[in-house]
Amino acid sequence: MEATAVDHTSMWSLVSNASIVVQLVMLILVGASVTSWIMIFQRSNMLRAGKRALDLFEERFWSGIDLSKLYRQAGSNPDPDSGVEQVFRAGFKEFSRLRQQAGVDPDAVMEGVGRAMRVAISREEEKLETSLPFLATVGSVSPYIGLFGTVWGIMNSFRGLAAVQQATLATVAPGISEALVATAIGLFAAIPAVIAYNRFAARSETLINRYYTFAEEFQAILHRKVHTSEE
């Protein structure tokens, strides 16, 4: 128990005794780390909810339910986490609107439906990629910010040696240790951000690909419907 207390006091002393610049660097890195962890939890929950909503909606869609009934249900009780529901509503709304207009060519109807669903997918893609630029920035910049704090702290340590007649390891070690803490905090902020960015980018791409697949299948169903009614 005593060893633990000593280690904690020693680590705290390294931070508290560092120069103002190094402490500022540490504060920036800690703030970036906390913010990135908040975004990691938010993105993780959002992607998990989006995948669950996609599975549930596809199950309802392929259950044989009437499309008009499904559209009314989705409109009366919309699920904000369901991106595929937004794609479906955008496509079916445009399909119904164009079908009500007299003299509209079936190919023009399908072109409008495809355009409406692509716009809806683009909006969902923007939502899925909201926090990715920040995580990428933290992952790429944090090590360099920490390295800047380390270099600055080592410069101060060697500058302080000029006032010492006999330089020993005990004289240099504390200053260098204080400086290296900045690099450690920078890596602590960067590594989770990089891992989260790669994971979220892959999961977002998977969801978007499934949205495009659903849109193509839905468009094929509407294509058969509009051409059957024209015959």
E strand intervals along the chain: none
Sequence letter at residue 72: R
Instruction: Quick: pLDDT tens for 90-114.
Output: 999 999 888 888 777 888 888 999 9
**pLDDT at residue 9 is higher than 50:** no
3-state helix/strand/coil string of 7-45: HHHHHHHHHHCCCHHHHHHHHHHHHHHHHHHHHHHHHHH
Residue 26: its pLDDT value, please? 84
In this structure, the number of other CB atoms found within 10 A of the CB of residue 158 comes to 13
For residue 163, what is the DSSP state? Answer: T
Specify burial of residue 84 (Cβ count, 10 A radius: 0-12, 13-18, 19+): buried
User: Residue 6: which pLDDT band, with cuts at 50, 70 and 90?
Assistant: very low
Confidence bin at 166 (pLDDT 50/70/90) = low
Alpha-carbon distance 150 to 22, whole Å? 7
The span from the CA of 199 to the CA of 25, in Å, is 28
- Does pTM top 0.95 for this prediction? no
Q: What mean pLDDT is reported for the chain?
A: 83
Specify the DSSP class assigned to residue 65.
-
pLDDT tens sequence across 32-50 = 999 999 999 999 999 999 9
- Asked if the model's pLDDT at residue 178 lies above 60, the reply is yes
- The answer to whether the CB of 138 falls within 8 A of the CB of 190 is yes
Distance CA 54, CA 211 (A): 9
